[in-house]
Amino acid sequence: MVTIEEALRIVEDQSISLKSETKPLEESLGYALATNTVSPFDVPEFDNSAMDGYALCGLYQEYKLVGEVAAGDSKEILMKDGEAVRVFTGAKVPQNTTAVMMQEKTTVKASTLFLDEMPKTEQNIRKKGGQLKEGQEVFTEGHILNPPSLALMGSLGLSQLNVFSKPRVNIITTGNELVKPGKSKTEGQIYESNSYAISGALQQFGFEHHQKTQILDDFEATKAGIKTALGSCDVLIISGGISVGDYDFVKQSLEENGVNELFYKVFQKPGKPLYFGRKENQFVFALPGNPASSLTCFYVYVLPLLQKLSGYGRTGLPTYQFPIKHPYENRFGRPSFLKAAVFDGKAQILDGQGSSMIQSMAKGNALAFVDENEKLAEGDLIRCKLIS
């Protein structure tokens, strides 16, 4: 048995080799950059107007209007002192522009422009290179491409990005009692639900599964199922069959398939019988079958590994601290991840903390963490990971 910190350290410390690929900009969301990016030119590339208004030459309250430049125009007007040019947001301003005055603060009579107030030097001019200089570092390797990153890469004219490949994931669910939703079941059977949580959580974080297999609690079938799944993935996620019951064949089947155990059992609630193993460059997580346990273990342990294998510069869900709405004492005798709801900056621990209880997790949006025997008074800070 390892502690949560030890388990996370083992996941984080795995040595891996990353693969990279070229992706079109529009398909790069959620990928990490495989190379450093420098700006190929100044951004913006030319002085331009931040407003619809007037480019002014000199600082006066009255100007002679001599022309117009719209966004996208390349024309170059040379103003004389005391002259102004009509400009629009994003338009290249004449070279000798002293300031731009927004149109709301102006009046035009015939071809004379009157300002309501005195302009200030460089006011409303977006300067060439004001955001980035040519050759300046934009992103370093491992930067995770979020929507504004895509906009920035696009604004640099880059349509193909060199990114780290994402791991291929296979899912196995185990259990004689499991029936696929939509099918009829008999007394004693239940509907299989963990694979939907796992594939949903994969999707939530930009991953997808390649194959999903359901196997019975039978040693030979488990061995064969694992062998097949390992044939086409970088990460295998197994649900159930990893406890100490007579029908739990996963651990032994992994050994028989040449998977080496990195840890088995974590001192935590839920998810104590969590297994992590490795076979060369393939990784296996065997998650406890109880629905809340398996999903909790996914968020806490599987996600950081997937992100690490994707070349992410930072991995795992960040932990935030929120004041708790009510007193809470951890009586589970183990460090615990609690189903919680965070709203209006406050955390509430939900009813229904059992490992099999998924309803509270579904209605909440966070996993709160309390140490073994931790006791909190109302308003004390509690550590939370936001899961939705």
The candidate with the shortest Cα–Cα distance to 385, out of 344, 353, 339, is: 339
Residue 273 sits in the site that holds Mg ion (CB under 5 A): no
Binder of Mg ion out of 167, 175, 277, 364 (CB under 5 A): 175
| Torsion on CA atoms 78, 83, 89, 91, rounded to nearest 10 | -10
Per the structure block, which two tokens stand in for 235?
Answer: 């990460």
Residue 335 sits in the site that holds ligand AMP (CB under 6 A): no
Binder of Mg ion out of 53, 167, 225, 240 (CB under 5 A): 240
Nearer to ligand AMP, 347 or 361 (CB): 361
The candidate with the shortest Cα–Cα distance to 166, out of 226, 238, 235, 237, is: 235
The candidate with the shortest Cα–Cα distance to 168, out of 99, 83, 233, 123, is: 233
* Total binding residues toward ligand AMP, as defined by CB under 6 A: 18
Binder of ligand AMP out of 51, 91, 178, 303 (CB under 6 A): 178
**DSSP-assigned beta bridge partners for residue 69:** 87
Nearer to ligand AMP, 131 or 213 (CB): 213
335 binds, among ligand AMP, Mg ion, none (CB under 5 to 8 A by kind): none
In whole angstroms, how close is the CB of 13 to ligand AMP at the nearest point?
A: 27
Whole-Å CA distances, 246 to 89, 187, 227, 242, 275: 72, 21, 21, 10, 17
Quickly count: other Cβ atoms within 10 Å of residue 97's Cβ.
Answer: 24
Nearer to ligand AMP, 294 or 307 (CB): 294
Residue 98 sits in the site that holds ligand AMP (CB under 6 A): no
The candidate with the shortest Cα–Cα distance to 250, out of 296, 293, 302, 286, is: 286
CA 365 vs. chain centroid, Å, equals 16
Subset of residues 256 to 315 that bind ligand AMP, contact rule: CB under 6 A: 288-291
In whole angstroms, how close is the CB of 289 to ligand AMP at the nearest point?
A: 2
Binding site for Mg ion (CB under 5 A): 175, 240-241, 289
Binding site for ligand AMP (CB under 6 A): 173, 175, 177-178, 190, 192-195, 239-241, 243, 245, 288-291
